[in-house]
Amino acid sequence: MAKVKELLTKHKKLAILLCVIIVLASGVLAVRAQVKKGMEAMNAAMNKQEIAAVERRSLVSSISATGTIVSAESRDIVVNLSGIEVETVAVEVGDSVIEGDILLEFDSTDIEESLEDAKTALNASGGRSDISVSSSERSLQEAQATRDINAERANQDVADAWNDYLEALTDLEEAEGDYEDAKQTTIEKKGELEGSQARSSEAQSKMTEAQALMESLSGQFDSIVAQMNETYPEYSSQFNEKLHIGSSELSGLSSTNLVPDEATEAKAYVDGKLVDLIGISNQYHTAKGTYDTAAASYNSSSAEIASWQSKYATAQGNEATYEKAIDAAESAVDNMLNAYNNQVRSQEDSTRNNASTVAAKEDGLKSDKLTASTATLSDKKQVKQYETQLEDCIVKAPFAGVVTAVNVEEGDMYKGDTLITIEDTSAYEVSAEIDEYDISSIELGQKAVIKTNGTGDAQLDGMVTDIAPRATQSTGTDVTYNIKISVDTKNDDLRLDMTAKLSIILESKDNIVTVPYDAVQTDDEGKKYVEVVNETAEGEEVSQDSEEAQTPENTTIPANTRGPEGASGRTNTKKVYITTGIESDYYVEVESGELTEGMQVVVQAAEQSLNMENIMRMQGPMGGF
DSSP sequence for 556-607:
-EEEPPP-STT-TT-EEEEEEE-EEEEE-SSEEEEE-SS--TT-EEEEEPPP
| Closest to 121 (Cα-Cα) out of 377, 388, 387, 392 | 377
Per-residue pLDDT for 484 more than 90?
yes
Average the pLDDT over each of 259-273, 398-412, 450-464, 470-484 and give the range with the smallest value. Answer: 470-484
Helix orientation angle between 2-10 and 12-46, rounded to the nearest 10 degrees: 100
Q: How many CB atoms lie within 10 A of CB 289?
A: 11
Q: What per-residue confidence (pLDDT) applies to 186?
A: 80
Cβ atoms 492, 500 nearer than 8 A: no
In 399-517, DSSP assigns E strands to: 401-406, 413-414, 420-423, 428-435, 447-452, 460-467, 473-475, 478-487, 499-516
* pTM for the whole structure: 0.42
Cβ atoms 27, 625 nearer than 8 A: yes
Query: Which has the higher per-residue pLDDT, 10 or 154?
Result: 154
Q: What per-residue confidence (pLDDT) applies to 621?
A: 40
What SS3 class is residue 169?
Answer: helix
CA 99, CA 81: separation in Å to the nearest integer?
A: 22
Residue 398 half-sphere exposure toward CB, CA atoms < 13 A: 13
Report residue 456 CA to chain centroid gap.
52
Q: Which of the given ranges, 29-38, 412-421, 597-606, has the highest pLDDT on average?
A: 412-421
Judge residue 99's burial from the number of C-beta atoms within 10 Å of its C-beta, 0-12 exposed, 13-18 middle, 19 or more buried.
Answer: exposed
Average the pLDDT over each of 147-156, 236-245, 417-426, 567-576 and give the range with the smallest value. Answer: 567-576
Residue 224 φ/ψ, nearest 5 degrees: -65, -40
Mark 48-85 as b/e (b = at least 16 C-beta within 10 Å).
Answer: ebbbbbbbeeebbbbbebebebbbbbebebebebeebe
Q: What per-residue confidence (pLDDT) applies to 182?
A: 76
Residue 624 half-sphere exposure toward CB, CA atoms < 13 A: 8
Query: Which has the higher per-residue pLDDT, 318 or 555?
Result: 318
Per-residue pLDDT for 550 more than 80?
no
DSSP sequence for 318-377:
HHHHHHHHHHHHHHHHHHHHHHHHHHHHHHHHHHHHHHHHHHHHHHHHHHHHHHHHHHHH
Per-residue pLDDT for 538 more than 70?
no
Report residue 283 CA to chain centroid gap.
92
Q: What per-residue confidence (pLDDT) applies to 68?
A: 94
CA 364, CA 184: separation in Å to the nearest integer?
A: 69
Report residue 334 CA to chain centroid gap.
54
Q: How many CB atoms lie within 10 A of CB 271?
A: 15
Residue 317 φ/ψ, nearest 5 degrees: -65, -45
| Closest to 533 (Cα-Cα) out of 512, 558, 568 | 558
For the segment 429-458, the average pLDDT, to the nearest whole number, is: 93
DSSP sequence for 213-273:
HHHHHHHHHHHHHHHHHHH-GGGHHHHHHH--TT-TTGGG--HHHHS-TT-HHHHHHHHHH
Q: What per-residue confidence (pLDDT) applies to 476?
A: 67
Q: What per-residue confidence (pLDDT) applies to 371?
A: 82
Per-residue pLDDT for 174 more than 90?
no
pLDDT band at 477 (very low <50, low <70, confident <90, very high): confident
Q: How many CB atoms lie within 10 A of CB 610?
A: 11
Cβ atoms 587, 578 nearer than 8 A: no
Query: Which has the higher per-residue pLDDT, 57 or 620?
Result: 57
**pLDDT tens readout for residues 85-99:** 999 999 999 898 999
Amino acid identity of 279? G
pLDDT band at 488 (very low <50, low <70, confident <90, very high): very high
Strand partners, 575: 531
CA 129, CA 136: separation in Å to the nearest integer?
A: 11
pLDDT band at 30 (very low <50, low <70, confident <90, very high): low
**What is the DSSP code (8-state) at residue 512?**
E
CA 295, CA 40: separation in Å to the nearest integer?
A: 142
**pLDDT tens readout for residues 280-295:** 988 898 998 899 888 8
Residue 143 half-sphere exposure toward CB, CA atoms < 13 A: 21
Round the average pLDDT of the chain to a whole number and report it: 81
- pLDDT over 90 percentage in the chain: 30
Per-residue pLDDT for 562 more than 70?
no
With a CB cutoff of 8 Å and minimum separation 6, the contacts of 443 are 464, 467
Per-residue pLDDT for 166 more than 90?
no
CA 453, CA 500: separation in Å to the nearest integer?
A: 8
Q: What per-residue confidence (pLDDT) applies to 13?
A: 57
pLDDT band at 102 (very low <50, low <70, confident <90, very high): very high
Q: How many CB atoms lie within 10 A of CB 319?
A: 20
